[in-house]
Amino acid sequence: MKPLLSVLIVTWNCQQLIGPCLDYLFASNMTEPFEVIVVDNQSGDGTVDVVRARTEPITVIEPGENLGFGRGNNLAAKHANGKYLLLLNPDAYLLDRDALPHLVAALRTMEREGCGAVAPRLNNPDGSHQIGDGGFAPTPGNVVRHLSLVSRILPSARGFYINHPALMERESVTLDWLAATCLLVTRAAFETVGGFDPRFFMYGEDVDLGIRLGKAGYGLVLLPAISVVHLQGATQRVDPDAIHVSTGWIDAIYALHQERGWRPAVRRWTIAGAMAAGFGVRALAYGIRGRQGRKRASAMIRYARHGWAGRLTASQIQP
């Protein structure tokens, strides 16, 4: 029987994560047929062995190189047979057994009105909302409103990330992009825009995808009532007590503003100033706290420095 849904998982050294991810996936209350496709980016820790040892039917693809997140999902999509594609990180856990069927049911209904993708709210393991599950285009104004905390204070103010608690109380929130941590997209929409831009190795590819889906006329909707637990940065973290720091998303923002000319240059300088000031203030605020606060302050300083330097150097994709 042809599956309704194809679940695409890209792995890289996820031996400790992929087992629970698949456990929760196969334990979901999804009554319609679905397939699982895992693309492994040259893991060296036995991730593939864990997947192949499972009794459930799973298609495992080993490209022989690290394709990155976007290209890995593009490869998985070429082998998919479902009408819907679920892009699922190996560190994203469907603890709620109804999350997956509810996502599919929602997209089935909303695609009649032009919706091309939906995503759940991302939660930290403690149940708190994890900032980064979606947002608006990384225009200078949206970046400034986010870093100045204006979007945190005013729910009507657009920010690069959505971070106002009131938005999480809504049944749905229409956005410019959704995190690919757990993203359900129609196959038609994904293929119409050509999938992920292969120039993005990791970080920012979901922002770029969302913007292109929007330009193609597809809506993107976050569904806060449906939640998934995301162990943010778990695939890259060695020290479990460390603060996860990744500047790749900053590079991705600049990559979307890398055109030549004075207007893009002004946009880059505006974003750089907002990052330097916003993260600098955060560093000061965290610095007056205890040991954990100092760790966060150090992370904010790294973001501030990278954000400021990015106006001239950061570029994650090649034109």
Where do the structural domains in the chain lie, given as residue ranges?
5-230, 248-309
State how far the alpha carbon of 40 is from the alpha carbons of 90, 208, 237, in Å.
Answer: 11, 23, 18
Amino acid identity, residue 233? Answer: G
Confidence at residue 252, expressed as pLDDT on a 0 to 100 scale = 76
CA angle, 101 then 72 then 24, to 5°: 30
Confidence at residue 53, expressed as pLDDT on a 0 to 100 scale = 95
Q: What is the rounded end-to-end Cα distance, in angstroms, of the chain?
A: 42
Report the C-alpha gap between 243 and 241 in whole angstroms.
7
Confidence at residue 269, expressed as pLDDT on a 0 to 100 scale = 84
Confidence at residue 236, expressed as pLDDT on a 0 to 100 scale = 44
The position carrying tokens 């994904």 is: 190
User: Which residues, including other chains, have CB under 8 Å from residue 67's CB and lie 6 or more apart?
Assistant: 10, 39, 41, 75
Report the C-alpha gap between 132 and 113 in whole angstroms.
26
SS3 breakdown of the chain: % helix, strand, coil, rounded to 5? 40, 20, 40
Report the C-alpha gap between 78 and 57 in whole angstroms.
18
Q: Provide the residue-wise pLDDT of the chain in tens; the chain has 319 residues.
A: 789 999 999 999 999 999 999 999 999 999 999 999 999 999 999 999 999 999 999 999 999 999 999 999 999 999 999 999 999 999 999 999 999 999 999 999 999 999 999 999 999 999 999 988 999 988 888 888 888 888 888 888 888 888 888 888 899 999 999 999 999 999 999 999 999 999 888 878 999 999 999 999 999 999 999 999 999 754 444 444 455 567 777 877 887 777 777 777 888 888 888 888 888 888 888 887 766 677 888 888 888 888 888 777 645 454 3
For residue 36, the surrounding DSSP H or E stretch is strand 34-40
Confidence at residue 307, expressed as pLDDT on a 0 to 100 scale = 82
Report the C-alpha gap between 265 and 229 in whole angstroms.
38
pTM score? 0.86
Please state the length of the chain. Answer: 319
| CB distance 287 to 293 below 8 Å | yes
Confidence at residue 164, expressed as pLDDT on a 0 to 100 scale = 86
| CB distance 86 to 7 below 8 Å | yes
| CB distance 121 to 228 below 8 Å | yes
Give SS3 for 226. Answer: strand
Sign of the dihedral through C-alpha 266, 272, 275, 278: negative
Distance of CA 83 to the CA centre of its chain: 21
For the 5-230 domain, the top CATH level (class) is alpha beta
Amino acid identity, residue 293? Answer: G
